[in-house]
Every structure is written in structure tokens, then in C-alpha cells.
Amino acid sequence: MGWAVGVCWASRRVGAARARFLSVGMAPGPRQPAGVPLGGPCSVTPVSRMATVQGELIKNLTSKESVPHNKISIVGSGSVGMACAISILMRGLSDELALVDVNEGRLKGETMDLQHGSLFVKMPKIVSSKDYQVTANSSLVIITAGVRQKKGETRLDLVQRNLAIFKLMISDIMTHSPNCKVIIVSNPVDILTYVTWKLSGIPQTRVIGSGCNLDTARFRYLIGQKLGIHAGSCQGWVLGEHGDSCVPVWSSVNVAGVPLGDLNAQLGTDQDPERWKDVHKEVVSSPYEIIKMKGYTSWAIGLSVADLAESLLRDLRRVHPVSTIVKGLYGIREEVALSVPCVLGADGIAGLVQVKLTPEEEARLKKSAETLWGILRALEV
Amino acid sequence: MSTVKEQLIKNLVVEDKISHQKITVVGVGAVGMACAICILLKDLADELALVDVAEDKLKGEMMDLQHGSLFFATSKIVGGKDYRVSENSKLIIVTAGVRQQEGESRLSLVQRNVDIMKSVIPALVQYSPDCKMLIVSNPVDILTYVVWKLSGLPAARIIGSGCNLDSARFRYLIGEKLGVHPASCHGWIIGEHGDSSVPLWSGVNVAGVALKTLNPNLGTDSDKDQWKNIHRQVVESAYEIIKLKGYTSWAIGLSVTNLVESILKNLRRVHPVSTMVKGLYGIKEEIFLSVPCILGQSGISDIVKVNLNSEEEDLFKKSADTVWNIQKDLVF
């Protein structure tokens, strides 16, 4: 039956070539093997004997559909989502990136724009759709969708606006990636981290709010500027609520293990002649400033999210200040999410670092917890 | 009373504030910022300067990048309206200019962008007389010529981003069709970065196997497999993306960063970028078009002499005419 096999082979190659002739911006990606038959098992159908270039060039060996490893999905193709995307792309963190948005036109444009840069990066599959099916089998889903903070609007004012969007989103995500970890970026992040956990039903350890990761990065940058040292060598932690009430843990601030508090007993207080407290003030005020000047923030949050993604996907077990349920810590009795130092790995939040806080710092965390709980109670989750 | 800094740090050497690998990006629109973030993520500079006339937007963008400092290795990010901030740059990336509107061709932007270059280029040269300049603003071939004239710098140091992106798109689409990564699909687009760009079908190959030997009709209208569509898609893709998201940014940012890397690291890789082509392929005017160029620390040190068949040479000359027709009427 040599000739039948020959025709069968040709029909599969022709079929595959036609299947690949899709407009840019649609799946499948380049990994789809040439030998995938279009309609069911190989059948002897009269087809043109024309061989395609692909068939002539490449002798196909495997017919297995590629399975994504470490697939990342980003919900929301706005400035924040796309900043996360470009950071992830350039760090080469996974082999597949999926984008979801309701705004189909913008989504398609952004996807095409990323795909056209494929020559320069090592993430071979970039797909997108309005339909969450495209996120299937994700290791990590990053939620940036939501309405943008308006000029002067506090994060808490965003809450009700974002809740409705989350209800639809979470069930879709979990349907298609039941084992994923989720990073929540949308604001107010601590509230939406709690909301995501409740709506998804997945363990707390797999729900990570980007929280104070960025506040801490800003803190360390500004400390570095004051000392003439790179941020990476300035240790310091901002914990608690992401936003106006975040807590700078002055006792944690050190360079090469030397606590700055040992050198300046007034560090972070109103009596401090060096006014280190202003560093924290700037951490809180700068996002509003940036929003006033350019309309939104994107680059720093994108970089900080990619940093979290790297720890999660590569099981690094680095410690990051991210938002997680903290009931039971620091005398907090409410089931709320706040940022504390968490060990991030392949399972998500593998552990929490129990930081010794001053009574004042503890009181601030407790106050944040109460405020957040007041809002959460009022929400229909 | 001594400060924390004085108590913490024993200073040994007075800091030398001169940067050795400074890059300036002119224009903090979508393209400029995409170039900036890609440059930061690829660790190509020790100092990044941003220049723009829109002071608020500039400051916001600069702060946003600075706040990410923990995550990359470029310790100095500065910005300002005053060109002094660009002083001592090794490389200046010019993205300033008005952007293509939906449906508008690159060529119609010309005069508006020429005027912008007149206000931008002389100051940049004054503060970085030894720099290389990478022109991205459209229409890039004409503006690269304009910048060359305005700067007074040797043509080798004025590089138009040209068809580097077109060729990247070309290779991406070829890769999609073959199920192979774009990096392993070789293909060149030269000429105008725009509607009259020239795809060199005879050079398209994988592992040295020219696709044209497998399909002699490759790239022609009689090709049953319609490979010509790929070039059409390359030409139309910018328009399509602009229609969908308002502008393009990521791919051009990545493509520019690819060029920056070759220049600053003196890699001597070959890229299809826009350079002075008078004397090549029978071209008699001083125009800039993309041809394969060797990029290194001097800028464009050499041009690769590609053998064009008569059809390709025709198309290249048509590209040249298209560009010259606009350029000859420019006032500056």
C-alpha cells in the first residue's frame, strides 16, 4: 500500500500548510508540528500532489502537541498588563504567554506587536483571546484587569468598581487552570487578594497579592539614593497595606547587616534631623505624583511583578513582601490580606517570615486590618 | 553631628561621575519608552537619559523607571527638557516626532518631523559630539538623511532603524509558516522602511537551504502557496496595529535594542538598517535606504554587497525613487 501511504503523507503536509495560513495574531504557535492531520485519522483522499516548502524542507519526526511548561497568563492588556508582559518576555520566564482582555481590538494589536518582536526574545508562543480558554493550563495567572485609579482617588474608592469584574473573571480562570497560582495586581490589591481567594476556593498559599513588593522596591531605591548605594544592597521592608497606610519597618533597614537604626536612634521619627521619614512619605506619595504626570504607573509595577513571577516559576524561595491572609499574626483577628515577607516558590507562598515589629508598627497593621475588614464586610463577595 | 551615611560608609575615592556607556532616548512617547524599558532589561547602559518637551510626562516616565531600579542594573536614570542632560552619550536614539495617524502613510509626516529635527539635532551634537545616532522617527529613511545633514556628523555614525523591524516581522511570519523559530529563518527586507520595501526572496533560507530552490515561484503572484502574502503582511502590519491599539511600540523597542546591542558591544553583526546608498545599485542621489550593514562601535563600518537579481534591483530603485521624490522637496 505504498502509494496510499504516500498520498496520505502528502495530504497531511498540504493540510498542515493550509492550517498554518492564519492571520497574524491567532494561535497556533510555531510549535505545532507539521504532521497534524486536519480531519481525523489519515484517509486516502484525492488531493493535489503539490508539496509545500515546509514539507520539502523539513522531515518531521514528532507529532506530539507541545504542552506548555510554566505558562503565564495575564488578564488585562492595559499599561500595567503590558508592562508585566514585556518584562516577563525579556526575562524569558516561560515558553507561553497568554493575554486576555474584553477590549478585543486593543488586545489583538498588543498581541501582534509582541509577536513581531519574537525574533529578539525566547518565548515562542504568544496568544490572546477574549475567551479564557486561551489561558488553559497556566502555571501562573496575573490579574491586572480593573479600572484605573483616577487622579486623587484613593485605592479604597476603587473597590466596588472592581468587584463586579472579579466575580466573572475568577471562575473563568479557575475553570481553565485549576492548579495555577494567581498574582493579583489590580487595586485595591489587599482587598482584591482576599476577594480572589474567596471566589476561587483555592488554598491561600496560591493567591499572592503584589502588595508591598513595589512599595518596598521604591523604599530601597530611595534609601539607596540617600546613601549613594544601589537599591539591591539596601535592605528594608515596607509591610501591611499597599497604599497610604503601608508601614516602613525601620528596624529592618540595614546595609551589609548594619542597621541604620543603630547609627541614628531617631531613624524614621519626626525628631530625626536627617528626616529619613520623608523617604517613606515619598514611597506613599510618588505613585500619585506619577499618575498626575503621565496618567498611570506601569514600568516599576511591571518589573516588580516579573520579579515575583520569577521566584514562583523557578521555585527560588526568595522572600518578598506580598499580600496574603494574615489572620492570627500580630494579634489580627480578621480574615484579611496584608503584606508580610513571604517565601515564594513553586507551590506559591511556601512560608511566612515572622518579623518582630515594634508595638507601634503592630498597631498600624492591626488598624489596617480593621479598616480593610470594614470594607470587606460591606462588600457582597 | 555625623549623618547615617558618614557613620556607615568610609569613603575612599572621589566618585568619577562620568558614565562610560550612556544612552539618551529623545522622545518619551510609546516608542521611546519601549526602547527605554528594553534597554534597561538588557543591561546595555550605565546611564540612561530621557529628553522631551513635555516636562510632566517626562518626569513621570523617568520616576516610573527609577522606581524599578531594584530590578535592573542601570544605576543612573536622568531626564530633562534641557539637552544638557544628554551630555556625553555614546548613543542617542531619536524617537521624537509626530506619530502616524490611522491610515496615514509614513511619508506624509515628513515636513512636520523635519522641523522637529531642526530643533533637536544641533543641541544633541553639541553635548555629545562623538556619539552615534539611531533614528527611529518616521519616515525613517528621509529623517536619517535630514539628521545626517543637520548634524554634520559622518554618515557612518547616523543609523536609521530602517528595515530591521520589517525583517524581524518577515522572519517571524516565515517562522510561523514553517513551524520554526524566527531566529532560524533567514530573510532580508531592504529598501524603504515602508510600503515600497523590497523582500529578497532569493535569500530566504533555513539552515542554508534556499526556499526558492524548493519553490521556484516563491514570492511571485503565481506561487500557489502565496508566500508573497507574507511581505504584504509585513508592509501592512504597522497600519493594522495602529488601527487596533493606536500605535506600535514593543516590536520597534525590541528591534532598536537589538541594534543598540550591536553598536555598543561592537558586535559587528549584520543588520538591515538605513544608510547612505548613493553609488550602490546605480543610485545617484544622496538618499538613505536599508541595506545589510555591519554595526559596531563606529556605527556602520561596512556595507554587505548583496547581489540583487534584476527584479529586486528594479524594486530597490523604485524604493529609492519613492524616497527621493519626497526628499527633493524638503525645506530645511
Place A17 in a pLDDT band, splitting at 50, 70 and 90. very low
Tell me: is residue B52 an annotated ligand-binding position. yes
Tell me, yes or no, whether A237 and A299 share the same domain. Answer: yes
Contact in structure between B313 and B277 (CB atoms under 8 Å): no
The residues spanned by each domain of chain B are 22-160, 164-327
Single residue among A184, A209, A234 that ends a domain in this structure: A209
Tell me, yes or no, whether A155 and A283 share the same domain. Answer: no
Write the CATH number for A123. 3.40.50.720
Place A45 in a pLDDT band, splitting at 50, 70 and 90. very low
Nearest to B244 among A57, A106, A114 (CB): A106
Residue of A nearest to B35 (CA): A86
Place B183 in a pLDDT band, splitting at 50, 70 and 90. very high
Q: Please provide residue A203's backbone torsions phi and psi, each rounded to the nearest 5 degrees.
A: -60, 150
Nearest to A298 among B64, B66, B179 (CB): B64
The A residues from 114 to 173 touching B (CB cutoff 8 Å) are 114-121, 124
What is the average pLDDT across A212-236? Answer: 97
- Residue A12 has a pLDDT of 36
Q: C-alpha grid cell for residue A126?
A: 504568544
pTM (predicted TM-score): 0.90
Q: For residue B290, give the nearest of B205, B188, B151, B216 by alpha carbon.
A: B188
pLDDT digits (tens, 9 = 90+) for A332-349: 999 999 999 999 999 999
3-state SS, residue A48: coil
Distance of alpha carbon B91 from its chain centroid, rounded? 12
Distance of alpha carbon A156 from its chain centroid, rounded? 21
Place A1 in a pLDDT band, splitting at 50, 70 and 90. very low
Q: Do A56 and B243 touch (CB under 8 A)?
A: no
Give domain status of residue A66, yes or no: no
Computed over every residue of chain A, the mean pLDDT equals 87
- Residue A50 has a pLDDT of 55
Tell me: is residue B137 an annotated ligand-binding position. yes
Strand order in the sheet with B205-206: B185-186, B205-206, B209-210
pLDDT digits (tens, 9 = 90+) for A267-318: 999 999 999 999 999 999 999 999 999 999 999 999 999 999 999 999 999 9
Tell me, yes or no, whether A323 and A234 share the same domain. Answer: yes
Query: Could you tell me the end-to-end alpha-carbon distance of chain A, in angstroms, rounded to an integer?
Result: 64
Q: At residue A46, does pLDDT exceed 90?
A: no
Tell me, yes or no, whether A148 and A187 share the same domain. Answer: yes
- Residue A312 has a pLDDT of 98
Place B137 in a pLDDT band, splitting at 50, 70 and 90. very high
What is the average pLDDT across B171-192? Answer: 97
d(CA B224, CA A300): 49
What is the average pLDDT across A250-257? Answer: 96
Single residue among A209, A241, A258 that ends a domain in this structure: A209
pLDDT digits (tens, 9 = 90+) for B307-319: 999 999 999 999 9
Tell me, yes or no, whether A180 and A262 share the same domain. Answer: no
Q: At residue B186, does pLDDT exceed 50?
A: yes
Place B5 in a pLDDT band, splitting at 50, 70 and 90. very high
What is the average pLDDT across B60-72? Answer: 98
Q: At residue B173, does pLDDT exceed 60?
A: yes
Q: At residue A28, does pLDDT exceed 60?
A: no
Q: Please report, for residues A34, B198, B214, B226, B267, the alpha-carbon distance to residue A10 in angstroms, rounded to integers and kept in the order given.
A: 11, 32, 15, 18, 44
Q: C-alpha grid cell for residue A103?
A: 477590549
Q: What percent of chain A has pLDDT over 70?
A: 85
| pLDDT greater at residue A380 or residue B290 | B290
Tell me, yes or no, whether A231 and A86 share the same domain. Answer: no
Tell me, yes or no, whether A220 and A335 share the same domain. Answer: yes
Place A250 in a pLDDT band, splitting at 50, 70 and 90. very high
Q: At residue B200, does pLDDT exceed 50?
A: yes
Q: What is the largest CA-CA distance in chain A?
A: 93
Provide Rg for chain B, Cα atoms: 21
Q: For residue A166, give the nearest of A210, A198, A136, A127 by alpha carbon.
A: A198
Q: For residue A327, give the nearest of A187, A197, A185, A166 by alpha carbon.
A: A197
Q: At residue A43, does pLDDT exceed 50?
A: no
Q: For residue B158, give the nearest of B324, B286, B282, B306 by alpha carbon.
A: B286
Single residue among A187, A209, A231 that ends a domain in this structure: A209
Reduce the secondary structure of B147-204 to three states and give it as a string. HHHHHCCCHHHEEECCCHHHHHHHHHHHHHHHCCCHHHEECCEEECCCCCCEECHHHC
Tell me: is residue A152 an annotated ligand-binding position. no
Tell me, yes or no, whether A229 and A193 share the same domain. Answer: no
Tell me, yes or no, whether A144 and A169 share the same domain. Answer: yes
- Residue A40 has a pLDDT of 38
Q: Do A300 and B67 touch (CB under 8 A)?
A: yes
d(CA B275, CA B255): 17
Q: Do B245 and A106 touch (CB under 8 A)?
A: yes
Residue A263 makes CB contacts below 8 A (sequence gap 6+) with B4, B7, B8
The A residues from 274 to 313 touching B (CB cutoff 8 Å) are 274, 276, 286, 289-295, 297-300, 302-304, 306-307
Give domain status of residue A55, yes or no: no
Tell me: is residue A81 an annotated ligand-binding position. yes
Q: Provide the CATH number for the domain formed by B22-160 in this structure.
A: 3.40.50.720
pLDDT digits (tens, 9 = 90+) for B208-255: 999 999 999 999 999 999 999 999 999 999 999 999 999 999 999 999
Q: What percent of chain B has pLDDT over 70?
A: 99
Give domain status of residue A49, yes or no: no
d(CA B275, CA B270): 13
Q: C-alpha grid cell for residue B275?
A: 544608510
Q: Which domain holds residue A244?
A: 212-377
Contact in structure between A145 and A103 (CB atoms under 8 Å): no
Tell me, yes or no, whether A220 and A180 share the same domain. Answer: no
Number of domains in chain A: 2
- Residue A151 has a pLDDT of 77
Q: At residue A27, does pLDDT exceed 50?
A: no
Tell me, yes or no, whether A205 and A218 share the same domain. Answer: no
Residue of B nearest to A15 (CA): B225
Q: Do A304 and B71 touch (CB under 8 A)?
A: yes
Q: Do B7 and A263 touch (CB under 8 A)?
A: yes
Write the CATH number for A269. 3.90.110.10
What is the average pLDDT across A369-379? Answer: 88
Q: What percent of chain A has pLDDT over 90?
A: 75
What is the average pLDDT across B96-106? Answer: 79
Q: At residue B177, does pLDDT exceed 90?
A: yes
Q: At residue A44, does pLDDT exceed 80?
A: no
Q: Which residue has the cell 513553586?
A: A346
Q: What percent of chain B has pLDDT over 90?
A: 92
Q: At residue A227, does pLDDT exceed 80?
A: yes
- Residue A6 has a pLDDT of 34
The yes/no answer on whether domain B164-327 falls in CATH 3.40.50.720 is: no
Peptide bond into A68 cis (omega under 30): no
Count CB pairs under 8 A between chains A and B. Answer: 212
- Residue A32 has a pLDDT of 42
Tell me, yes or no, whether A173 and A195 share the same domain. Answer: yes
* Interior/surface letters B247-273, b for 16+ CB within 10 angstroms, e for the rest: bbbbbbbbbbbbbbbbbbeeeeebbbb
